[in-house]
Structure 1
Amino acid sequence: MDLLPRSHTEFSSVDYWDTFFRKRGEKAFEWYGEYPELCGILHKYIKPQEQALVVGCGNSRLSEDLYDVGYRGLTNVDISDVVVRQMTERNAEKRADMKFLQMDVMKMDFPDSSFSAVLDKGTLDALMPDNQSETQEQVTRMFDEVGRILKVGGRYVIITLSQEHIMKKLLQYFPQEGWITRVHKVSDSDRETSQKEMPLPVFIFVFTKFKKMPQMNKILEVCLGGTDTTQRLSCEEDVMRAVKERQHYAMLRQQLQNREVEWLFATDEGRGQLAGTAGFRRLVVVSLQREHPYETMAEIQKELSGKIMELAPPGFNRKIQVPFLSVGADIGTRTVCYEGTSQFSGPYVVEDVEGEDGIIFRNLIFLSNRNAVQSQARMVQENKIPMKKGRRRTRKKIVVDCGYLACQHHRVMVAGLGCLPNIKQLLDTRLDVVLVGLGGGGLPLFLHKHFSKIQMDVVELDQSILQVAEGWFGFQQDERMRVHVTDGLVYLEEQAKQASRSCHVVILDVDSKDVTVGMSFPPQPFVDEECLKNIKDILNEDGLFILNLSCRDMTLRASVVETVRSVFPRILSKKIEDEVNEILFCFPREKDVHESCDDGHMAEFSLEELGNLKESVGVVEKVAKGCSQRWDPTLELTEQLDGLKLA
């Protein structure tokens, strides 16, 4: 049942909410928790005998729960006539005194000073998905209406995730009007069930209406520590800082909780691999937050060394320098270029990182796995561009280096084109490639720029990732490179039905979102027999299937390879040094291409033992260099396939 809006603007649409509640029916939709989790704070600010208004009530059970414990003066309004009818019918017998009215919160029909309290559970968040001027105006009209219908001394109680733009709006509006501000954090201990679905902390803002008086001191208070202790703060910036600290803490805790179920941390085999990789009896893992301003590993070591030594066992020689290991080499000055949210992968950030050598790398990072760089590009300075007319100064434009492949496994994939038996002819005429998995677009961009005869179809599930690739990583579509925004499994199945066998290369480079298994590339369905047969049906008889396989679970890896072998009779494997990834080159026919000797009993090959393969990879490199004005001197394609093994 598809209930997601096509765009965030639909959150303020009557038609969207009518459709939403019509599809959902009577099943309650709870924003940010249920009554048991919220009642401790709500009862402090809304009394049973008061007249209270619930705005944007939806089909939440919160009003019903309040009514059942003695709140009789409740009026509920919602923009959706559908949900108002549903709720009226649902409560007609048991809660006859409770009212449900269809009404726009930006233009309500109530007289001035009608209510002692207004309760908003998620409505503000729905109305303010962004910070655009039109959105700001709508929210201001709602706040004006709330102020009009509230009595002096009345409370506006808002249950919210308190995103930064929402928090700014709240603290710009109400304190300036002379209202008392108090912020509560919903206790985590009360949210054990919801926490699994809602990793972000929930806050309750309480604004108490007072008459605006000149030179009146602002009253700003927070109660965020899980107790009743209230702290008075001096300015709105301090309130925002206190809330953000709680949000950062909650996100960090969620990351650590999520890592507990990762295969590497949650299984004996995974933990054994981690310990073996580290090579030490004791290992302390420190996660650096993205907000940390460290520029060098030396600065990190300086701050951590004292704390690490506090964990040393009794009798440990304090003069020994404890070694530090780094998962990545991207420590440096970070500049956030863009932040967004993917429907499939959650929040992400695009950032430029300048290392100690001055080289700038642009990274795409999903915050659900913030320690891993999903895509990376090297940035270079383009030709100087003159400033405005009449000025001597010039400015330098930073652009993506299309000749650089950041991922080692992408370099191996490019070299693997030499496995095609007629690669020289194909590079002179036409080479048809299907790539499943766009990411930042580094691999398809390289292939497109360096091989003029390649015709490429790229398949990407996530529209937002395509926008990131085009907006920040230099990716462009044209008549030789088309992107299909669809499920890769569906695309492969549809192409297989055509049975044209016109494709020369299929590349599978898509990551899995399931961290509970030991395979991060690809998702399991892509290596099931049905999908593999579809790939084979797409390929030319002399075609090549290139698979990026990253699997720590050796039992699972063996099963995957066996399934691939049942469809592709001959497989060559190239293990990426110092990485979990390995690249499988899979052939639809029994006979290995370029093979000059009987390898039936051979477990490992050199390029020379594979006959003409080295020569063919040399052809690939020569063509690539000839099409490029900028070539990475560290990219020696002829060396990428050393150490091939028969899988």
Structure 2
Amino acid sequence: MPMPILEMCQGEDGAPVRLPVVADLLSVVRERQAYAMLRQRLRTGTNATSTPSLTLCHAPTGRPRYTLTVQDCPPGAKVPRANHFAIFIVPQGRESDWLYGSAEGRGQLAASANFRRLVVVAMHREQEYTDMQAVQSELSPMVMELAPPGMPANHQVPFLSVGGELGWREVVSRGTSDLSGQYSVEDVRGEDGQLYRRLVFLGNEGLVQSESRLTDPAAAASSQKKKSRRKAKPSAPPPVTTPSQTPGGALEVDKGFLCCAHHRVMVAGLAMLGVGTDHNKDVSVLLVGLGGGGLPQFLRDFVPGAKVEVVELDPAVLEVAQGWFGFTPDDRLTVTLGDGLERINNMEREGGHQYNVIMFDVDSKDPSLGMSCPPPAFVDTAFLERVGKLLTPQGVFMLNLVCRDSALKKSVLSRVRGVFPHVLSRGIEGEVNEVLLCSRGTGETGVPPTLLKAGKTLQGSLGMNSSGAATCSPQIDITELLEDLKVA
């Protein structure tokens, strides 16, 4: 029996695309039907509570090329009569930023742009984009089908962007974790013009798992030499370089800079222990969750007397941290591969283990939960009691809490307070993260009045560790981080 030939044309002028089996043909037909229904809905009205998105694929390869998200202005918004419709192009590598990667951020972006409808366009990794003009020409026919009702014919639709730039991204490594699936390590240019290295798991592309700032030691040394010259001639600023343009690929991770704000809060929380004072020369830290290794490396390199043990579940994460994020274990910075829950349970059962600080910075693999960090088992009352038993009497438990469910968050805080009577918290601006600094308490009912003074002592002691291997300086403002603490 002859095999049927299955082909489909995308539009009247589209070239026929051959499909191998009937199931694939039906899938394409359903996608076109869903798109037609979405287009009809968008043409008949606006709805600020609905933010539909669709992905446009590259015709030759079938791989995702653009993701379009529709954001309508809320009813009653004062929008200029001429501001019907606009397209915003997200810079490459920035699609995970809060402003572009979250519903709240896109709402804020749309309010700032002030159009009846804004389509936010994200470009995908491992796709080539020539320039802004080429992107506009490619997108124009499709996005015009998403215009709001009542827009005049031949209306000029503006394309918005950050400084007219497409941004820059280079994928430097890809791999697969047996636990978390495919991942990408990529260098991107930030809003500040600096280069950053990111670890992104492709199963959750809206979340940057780890991030570190990159620096060029040769350029920094050259800049320092120029500054030291007595009669330096004015010169044009050096051109912005990318890793591929840097001789020998000399870019390194800046270990003195913590990209994640919640990591900086955790470091500042060490002031609760009096770290940096003469009477507290050593600090033992147990950290569950490695990521790119930026936080434990900072603790090891800059906090006097710090000895850090990290527990990481995923061997692939450790491999990436060592290979791409400058993570360097030694006798004062060790890693145990395994389940953090099991590790803590076993240590509490064995006895003989005590830490000045225990930190949880571990994410949940279940996206359906209202809490993405930590997994629920890590804030179970019985487990928190085991954590308390592993702390010294004046020890501090630090928790990175990311919870969008208000009822669940209230329950978590209640359980934490049930074990640790003294809980301070600090939210992270523009993010859901909240860092909890928990202790058994010393009779204080609020933020200790001596904490800011202890913070200044800690600030002055950072980087004074004579045995440290760091070649850069710590860049953190302890006092500023402590000023916004409140009682949870």
TM-score (norm 2): 0.67
Which has the greater radius of gyration? 1
Query: Aligned partners of 1:337, 1:272: CA distance in 2, in Å?
Result: 30
Displacement of 1:368 in angstroms is: 0.7
Distance of 1:518 and 1:563 partners within structure 2: 17
Q: 2:309 aligns with which of 457, 475, 478?
A: 457
Structure 2 matches for 1:278-427, cutoff 5 A? 279=111, 284-294=119-129, 308=143, 310-316=145-151, 332-355=167-190, 359-383=194-218, 395=248, 397-421=250-274, 424-425=277-278
Q: Deviations over 1:53-91 (max 9, x none)?
A: xxxxxxxxxxxxxxxxxxxxxxxxxxxxxxxxxxxxxxx
Kindly provide the amino acid, as one letter, of the partner of residue 630 in structure 1: C
Distance 1:319 1:366, change over 3 A: same
8 Å contact kept, 1:295–1:331: no
After superposition, the Cα gap between the structure-2 partners of 1:320 and 1:186, relative to the gap in structure 1 and judged at 3 Å, is closer
Distance 1:273 1:248 in 2: 23
Indicate the residue corresponding to 1:556 in structure 2.
Answer: 408
Deviations 1:281-322 (A, max 9, x none): 756454432134459989867865775554333335857868
SS of structure 1 residue aligned to 2:322: helix
> Aligned in 2, Cα 1:489/1:312: closer, same or farther, shift over 3 Å?
same
- Structure 2 counterparts to residues 40-51 of structure 1, below 5 A: none
Show CA shifts across 1:452-507 (max 9, x none). 41111100000011011011111111111110100011011111113336200001
* One-letter identity of the residue aligned with 1:401: D
The alpha-carbon deviation at position 438 of structure 1 amounts to 0.4
| 2: CA distance, partners of 1:625 / 1:481 | 16
Looking at structure 2, the residues matched to 355 and 644 of structure 1 have their Cα atoms a distance apart, in angstroms, of 28
Q: Equivalent residue for 2:458?
A: 620
- 1:187 lines up with 2:23 in the alignment: yes
> Is the 8 Å Cα contact of residues 541 and 589 (structure 1) preserved in structure 2?
no
Distance 1:337 1:276 in 2: 32
Write the letter of the residue equivalent to 2:187. Answer: D
Per the TM alignment, residue 587 of structure 1 is displaced from its structure 2 partner at its CA by: 0.8
In the aligned structure 2, how far is the partner of 1:433 from the partner of 1:295? 48
Tell me the secondary structure at the aligned position of residue 441 of structure 2: coil
Range that drifts further, 519-528 or 354-363: 354-363
Alignment correspondent of 2:483: 642
In 2 relative to 1, CA 320–645 (structure 1 residues): closer, same or farther, beyond 3 Å?
farther
Query: 1:545 is paired with a residue of what secondary structure?
Result: strand
SS at match of 2:434: strand
Mapped to 1, the partners of 2:21 and 2:339 lie a distance apart of 40
What secondary structure does 2:389 align onto? helix
Structure 1 residue 578, shift from structure 2 partner: 0.9
- Alignment partner, residue 61 of structure 2: 245
1:630 aligns with 2:486: no
Whole-Å Cα distance in 1 between the matches of residues 27 and 146 of structure 2? Answer: 32
1:562-586 CA-to-partner distances (Å, cap 9, x unmatched) read 1111111121110001111010011
Give the Cα–Cα distance (whole angstroms) in 2 for the partners of residues 299 and 415 of structure 1: 47
Query: What are the ranges of 5 or more consecutive residues in structure 2 without an aligned counterpart?
Result: 4-17, 29-56, 69-101, 220-245
Query: Take 2:141 and 2:395, find their aligned partners in 1: how far apart are those partners?
Result: 57
Question: Residues 501 and 538 of structure 1 are in contact (CA less than 8 Å); yes or no, is this contact kept in structure 2?
Answer: yes
The yes-or-no answer on 1:439 pairing with 2:291 is yes
| Structural mapping, 1:183-222, within 5 Å | 184=20, 187-188=23-24
Amino acid at match of 1:478: D
- CA-CA distance at 1:631 after TM superposition: 2.4
Matches within 5 A, 1:472-551: 472-500=324-352, 502-551=354-403
**Counterpart residue identity of residue 493, structure 1:** N
Question: Which structure has the higher relative contact order (CA within 8 Å, separation 6+)?
Answer: 2
- Contact 1:294/1:333, CA 8 A, preserved across alignment: no
Note the C-alpha offset of 1:623.
Answer: 1.6
- 495-504 or 403-412, which deviates more: 495-504
> Which residue is equivalent to 1:224?
none
The answer (yes or no) to whether the contact 1:417–1:423 under 8 Å persists in 2 is no
Deviations 1:150-203 (A, max 9, x none): xxxxxxxxxxxxxxxxxxxxxxxxxxxxxxxx98257247899xxxxxxxxxxx
Q: d(CA) in 2 for partners of 1:297 and 1:538?
A: 56
Paired residues of 2:304 and 2:463 also in contact (CA < 8 A): no
Q: Distance in 2 between matches of 1:543 and 1:186?
A: 63
Q: How does 1:49-64 map to 2 (within 5 A)?
A: none
Equivalents in 1 of 2:418, 2:411: separation in Å?
11
What is the CA RMSD across the aligned residues, in angstroms? Answer: 3.9
SS of residue paired to 1:465: helix
List runs of 5+ in structure 1 lacking aligned partners: 1-42, 46-181, 193-240, 254-269, 385-392, 593-597, 600-604
Identical amino acids, percent of aligned pairs: 39
Contact kept? 1:345, 1:366, Cα under 8 Å? yes
Change in CA separation of 1:191 and 1:483 when aligned onto 2, cut-off 3 Å = farther
